[in-house]
Structure 1
């Protein structure tokens, strides 16, 4: 606290426990903050290592610290998928009937030529018929060169060669005996059978050739020789038309491998169980996860130390610039540490349920929990920087991609939720405002998640619905946790949040209702003091709401003896006129102590009790002091026996700006009220006189009010009093006119 330049005795140290302002304790709290950042970051970014050898038994169950692809299992699954791919065959349609036509044409040409001897005809057929087949398919293969791969063409050529039919030798001796009429009858039958058979896909032509005899016997051909020769010609002409396509099969196998999803080891899945043999595959998994001690590196640890230190440094700088008590008050810093611990713990708990199948459960995390608590209980600026830190932590904790350190999606949604919570809760005056803030968080979180879904173009209905549901539920969960935790922090740390202050200002509070019904004059005086002190406090950046509520309760002790206070003496005699000044002094002084006791009974927060206890400080009850002096002088006794110390309030003096302002406003309001028709000049002089009197009496020594702030307080009190009493003020230039009106 700053030393008041008007102090005659120097600064009096505040009455507080040593630890609350101890620099060593403060340093330890910042170290604890560092640990809160370091531990979850190291757990997420650095894996625990084990001393394991291949072929040994695992001494413990080892769990995966993060999501990682099981390369061995994935490769095995891909191989199995490729093996399950059936061979791909290509159907190459050939005009086998054309070959048969060429054979029949050759037969007719040779058989009708009488110049060729029988033996020569046999020799010609034995030589020419295979050549006809070979020439035709050579030409056909050339036509396929630009249509199919060379591998498939080689397979076609191979199958045609391997499955080529060899006409029996005896058939060549029967062919020359066929007449043109017989050939003409045989040709359509042969074409019909070939066409019908080749409609099907044929891989093994031998199985089809066995059916030719039955089909020929069912035809209209009657001659035995004709039927036999048709059978041989058809069998010779038939070829396979469905060929194994090696390239297409490989492509199908490749596609099957590509379509096979990766098999992941989820975070928290056991990689190896206790007493399980460490095989090559298991060893490779442990190696890929960096869980082997031989692979340990200390650089990541240094990186996390630097990152956590930067987080603490940034937070420290914002705390230094804060206008709240956290700048020097260790209990408030401890509360900040607890809020951070709860927020990170809540994030980690939600993270336990996150896996590759349900990554979007992370949106359920109440990331804005800490932000709202800091906004309500501490400082908005610290809430803003905390929102950024929580968002960075979320992007690390919920990242499921081993190839990157941060996942911007979770950090983005966390930042939106946190910033929205600050704007939604800042200035809220009722606890229902927390629920409204939760609804706002749900709405904006859902919108931000929707933006991410649109960017990723992931429109699976189930995933979209679950993702949006978790995002909306996260806001409501945040509100529920804040409502549940806020009373704990208010009670444990004696924090007076704006919400609590507004609740205490409700006229239906038992103490305020008692004040109104039993001491209406004091109640009205307290309301007026509240208006004055709130305006003055807000003008210098102090807590105006605390001043208002503190003013409502500052004279609550007067309800024990209401008629001994002048504002409650309506149409009755002043009881102080009949009692000794010593007793009057005791009754008046007791109202501060009585008020504190009553407020303790009703569990009114400490800050308000302190205002009631300190608003008079150690000021002198001048009226009763001078009355006592006059009584002794009237009796001819020595008035020096009356000491000022005996007629002073016991204190303590004001320890805060708020207590000092309420004390000044209390004296000013009572003094101005005693004036019949106060003028502007009278109000100005009275305010200045009261403030100067308190300064001369060293009543501001123990609080950090500056001269500039006192001047501002004085000016605001004058302006506010002028507004309150303007209807009763007689300005000098108006007095003659009023007198003339009276005379008339």
Structure 2
């Protein structure tokens, strides 16, 4: 990747670290500036008891806490008290009346048996003794002895058995009538008054009426008792069933021309639509957001295992695409503020991911997709509430990820358009998910608009990618897969020149390309770059094609007529001549580097030893290629493949063992000569390269069946 001369000049003034830090600071300021307007709170110019100049709608769902609480209180009040029936209450009351009457009868009977011979009426002292005895017999749990007055007990002691039976019958029957009609605890007083009225309708001897009334009041008890726990449980259930009083998103708060009441004003204030007080919190939040983004980018690029120069080029390119994507979002966001509702879904969200996938790699593309997804939630947030838009964030995220994943092949523009159509399909599905999940009703026309927005977003992403791609490739000298495919076409001027003027070299280059590509793919290197680099690596031979054996075609070898020094100069110059030709035609730097480095600083052994045989005083350095040595894995593999192809081609019918030994000797010779000292290729990778080259060459030079001469002629 080459960079603009102005950028290189800035780098020469600043250190790499300072340049990178300044770039991050500048990017952070740009992001903050772009997002600043989107976090600045917006308020309505409206006051209490004023008429609304327009219909004001809720920017988001709003829950009216006061109205909800009032509704809960009403629901709680509607729950009546829960009463639990007391089993056997009537029987208990009747039993109490009966036991008291029986107690009186027992006392009277005991006295009569004791004074059987004395026919005089009981004296006052005798009555007092009976009274005390009766109090001892009365039920203790009802405190009957304390509740009934002494004169009532004396009246009962003086009454006859028939009168007592009548009192019991009247009290029990009337009490049962009342209790069968359900007597609640708080209604006991009214029930006793009713019982008194009922008993008063009957005639009794002497003071027995009052005795009957008091006895009934004592025995009467509630048949239903208040159940506090069940009542509280029902109240809680009623409160829980109360739905919140809310205004849905887009719901009308104040109609056009309607007076803004205190209630309406409180709702507007709660939604942050009329609060004019300045708050630094949104800007502080934005600053933290920007720091997180820039920090993530810094860490990501800090851990990249590439050279400092390439790292800065990657960062600069990523930053430019990031800013362009933000500006596109900003423009779409401004359109949405102009009452173009939901036009945010037209955003070409997959553009940044797709173009970074093509120009750089998948990791950087994915990282940018996640960052832009977060930024979209801020740009398209609601201006009143400051709430971020999760829906557009999800839409942008899925769209961007789809763009990166579906762009499997980056070699043709048609693949970019195909990926855009897949992105459009994903957009439609994500929008359908968001719409159905919200439960909002839309017309058929609105559904059509959403479908069109999603389609434009996907196709627009691919159009933006295709449109911006040439500018970034030219401006940064990026050798993308698409550019490599264009350079591999035989119609390229240099390849046409090589094919017409040095056909043997062209064929050799194609064979080397096959070997190098398979070897690169075996170790995960850039096979396409190796293939295209091989096409151009010997283009310098087209300047003097007859001096190279593959182009002589049974002609006399010109090297037989010239000195070893001249042959050396002609052979060695094909690398520098090729690099100059490639620069003149403005081919990418990676291709030029391969042309310069594919021989490294290897020794031109044939002419070196030829000169020594002629008795000349020669130095080994004079017969070495100028280099540099291979700087990349691809250049190293091409260096091996070039020598292997030439060596194998020199043999008529090499066996598999011969091919294997030949490849091993060439690789070992390169290692011992230090030709791989300046690239990152490992010994393990070299073993994989040797295996891949063996497999490819064995496929080319596989043994053939020898047919009889007559059969061969027939075929």
Q: Which category of TM-score, normalised to the shorter sequence, fits these structures? A: 0.5 to 0.7
Instruction: Tell me whether 695-704 or 27-36 shows the greater mean CA deviation.
Output: 27-36
Structure 1 residue 332 and structure 2 residue 294: aligned? no
SS at match of 1:359: coil
Match of 1:182 in 2: none
SS at match of 1:394: helix
Match of 1:533 in 2: 516
Instruction: Tell me whether 29-38 or 562-571 shows the greater mean CA deviation.
Output: 29-38
CA distance in structure 1 between the aligned counterparts of 2:256 and 2:446, rounded to whole angstroms: 20
CA contact 1:678–1:728 (8 Å) conserved in 2: no
SS at match of 1:726: coil
Structure 1 300/395 Cα, relative in aligned 2: closer, same or farther at 3 Å? closer
SS at match of 1:354: helix
Shift of 1:318: 3.9
Match of 1:651 in 2: 627
Match of 1:726 in 2: 702
Q: Residue deviations 1:246-304, cap 9 Å, x none?
A: xxxxxxxxxxxx8676679xxxxxxxxxxxxxxxx9xx99x967996xx4444443332
Shift of 1:504: 1.1
Match of 1:76 in 2: 51
Structure 1 699/260 Cα, relative in aligned 2: closer, same or farther at 3 Å? closer
Match of 1:349 in 2: 331
Structure 1 607/289 Cα, relative in aligned 2: closer, same or farther at 3 Å? farther
Structure 1 78/300 Cα, relative in aligned 2: closer, same or farther at 3 Å? closer
CA distance in structure 1 between the aligned counterparts of 2:542 and 2:525, rounded to whole angstroms: 29
CA distance in structure 2 between the aligned counterparts of 1:296 and 1:350, rounded to whole angstroms: 27
Structure 1 313/77 Cα, relative in aligned 2: closer, same or farther at 3 Å? closer
Structure 1 residue 358 and structure 2 residue 340: aligned? yes
**Candidates 698, 701, 709, aligned match of 2:674:** 698
Shift of 1:554: 0.5
- Mapping of residues 27-106 of structure 1, within 5 Å: 27-47=21-41, 66=42, 68=43, 71-72=46-47, 76-77=51-52
**Candidates 365, 380, 393, aligned match of 1:383:** 365
Segments of structure 2 that go 5 or more residues without pairing to the other structure are 1-9, 57-250, 258-264, 707-715
Instruction: Tell me whether 557-566 or 425-434 shows the greater mean CA deviation.
Output: 425-434
Structure 1 701/356 Cα, relative in aligned 2: closer, same or farther at 3 Å? same
CA contact 1:592–1:612 (8 Å) conserved in 2: yes
SS at match of 2:555: coil
Structure 1 residue 479 and structure 2 residue 455: aligned? no
Shift of 1:521: 1.6
CA distance in structure 1 between the aligned counterparts of 2:252 and 2:291, rounded to whole angstroms: 45
CA distance in structure 1 between the aligned counterparts of 2:657 and 2:349, rounded to whole angstroms: 57
Structure 1 647/19 Cα, relative in aligned 2: closer, same or farther at 3 Å? farther
CA distance in structure 2 between the aligned counterparts of 1:79 and 1:482, rounded to whole angstroms: 42
CA contact 1:505–1:549 (8 Å) conserved in 2: yes
- Mapping of residues 682-693 of structure 1, within 5 Å: 682-693=658-669
SS at match of 1:727: coil
CA distance in structure 1 between the aligned counterparts of 2:13 and 2:392, rounded to whole angstroms: 39
Instruction: Tell me whether 20-29 or 581-590 shows the greater mean CA deviation.
Output: 20-29
Match of 1:308 in 2: 290
SS at match of 2:703: helix
Match of 2:19 in 1: 25
**Candidates 562, 572, 582, aligned match of 2:545:** 562
Shift of 1:418: 0.6
CA distance in structure 1 between the aligned counterparts of 2:11 and 2:634, rounded to whole angstroms: 21
CA distance in structure 2 between the aligned counterparts of 1:566 and 1:465, rounded to whole angstroms: 68
Q: Residue deviations 1:687-744, cap 9 Å, x none?
A: 12211212222211221222222222223222222222223799xxxxxxxxxxxxxx
Structure 1 17/33 Cα, relative in aligned 2: closer, same or farther at 3 Å? closer
- Mapping of residues 363-378 of structure 1, within 5 Å: 363-378=345-360
Shift of 1:441: 2.2
Match of 2:390 in 1: 408
Match of 1:670 in 2: 646
- TM-score w.r.t. structure 2 length? 0.64
**Candidates 471, 488, 505, aligned match of 1:488:** 471
Q: Residue deviations 1:631-674, cap 9 Å, x none?
A: 2x2xxxxx3x2111111111111111111111111111111111
Structure 1 20/601 Cα, relative in aligned 2: closer, same or farther at 3 Å? farther
CA distance in structure 1 between the aligned counterparts of 2:11 and 2:630, rounded to whole angstroms: 18
CA contact 1:416–1:444 (8 Å) conserved in 2: yes
- TM-score w.r.t. structure 1 length? 0.61
Match of 2:693 in 1: 717
CA distance in structure 2 between the aligned counterparts of 1:35 and 1:80, rounded to whole angstroms: 38
CA contact 2:598–2:635 (8 Å) conserved in 1: yes
Shift of 1:607: 0.6
